[in-house]
């Protein structure tokens, strides 16, 4: 990745991590406006202005995730990231690394598949977005949070600290 390995995530990286997480949770928990819009369109109806505004909130929040994800990858490339915490078994370090790669893939794949469905009418990607990726992302987040808590409290590493107060 980069030349020197920092000992913690930079304030910018921490801000990006939590902003993206917040926006993703919003779209995962409150997709109803987008679903209502999609239902009307699928029935061949004309969505009302309210339907469109509600759907646009989901779309813009998701597009914000995409833009921030690009920024995040750029920052990661320039600043690097701290090495995986050293105190736990190698298998778990590999698992953490794989989970992080997968999370990166999802913060791109989720908005891109949504955009394909919403703006370009690619229904197949809409279904992938809403039925498959959504479930995989939830599973990944649960594993990620469980992993973070295990690292913190079982192996007593400082992972939570380096992604929060630094």
Give the residues lining the site for ligand HEM (CB under 6 A).
17, 20-21, 24, 27-28, 31, 34-35, 38, 58-59, 62-63, 65, 76, 81, 84, 96, 100, 103-104, 107, 110-111, 114-115, 117-118, 126-127, 129-130, 134, 141, 144-145, 148, 159-160, 162-163
Instruction: Copy the structure tokens of residue 11.
Output: 């304030």
Rounded distance between C-alpha atoms, residue 30 and residue 12, angstroms = 27
Rounded distance between C-alpha atoms, residue 157 and residue 154, angstroms = 8
Rounded distance between C-alpha atoms, residue 124 and residue 126, angstroms = 5
Q: Tell me the closest approach of the beta carbon of residue 34 to ligand HEM, in angstroms.
A: 4
Q: Tell me the closest approach of the beta carbon of residue 63 to ligand HEM, in angstroms.
A: 5
Rounded distance between C-alpha atoms, residue 121 and residue 141, angstroms = 28
Spacing of C-alpha 59 from chain mean position: 14
Q: Tell me the closest approach of the beta carbon of residue 134 to ligand HEM, in angstroms.
A: 4
Instruction: Copy the structure tokens of residue 158.
Output: 């400082």
Q: Tell me the closest approach of the beta carbon of residue 47 to ligand HEM, in angstroms.
A: 12
Would you say 29 or 49 has its CB closer to ligand HEM?
A: 29
Would you say 49 or 86 has its CB closer to ligand HEM?
A: 86
């Amino acid at each position: 990745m980069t030349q020197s390995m920092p000992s913690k995530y930079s304030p910018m990286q921490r801000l990006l991590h939590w902003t993206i997480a917040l926006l993703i949770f919003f779209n995962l928990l409150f997709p109803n406006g987008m679903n209502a819009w999609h239902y009307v369109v699928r029935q061949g109806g004309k969505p009302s202005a309210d339907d469109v505004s509600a759907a646009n909130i989901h779309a813009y929040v998701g597009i914000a995730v995409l833009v921030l994800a690009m920024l995040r990858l750029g920052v990661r490339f320039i600043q690097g990231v701290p090495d995986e915490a050293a105190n736990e078994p190698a298998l778990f370090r590999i698992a953490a690394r794989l989970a992080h790669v997968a999370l990166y893939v999802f913060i791109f794949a989720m908005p891109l598949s949504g955009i394909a469905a919403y703006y370009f009418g690619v229904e197949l990607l809409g279904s992938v977005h809403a039925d498959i990726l959504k479930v995989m992302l939830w599973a990944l987040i649960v594993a990620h949070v469980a992993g973070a808590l295990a690292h913190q409290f079982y192996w007593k590493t400082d992972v939570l600290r380096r992604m929060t107060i630094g």
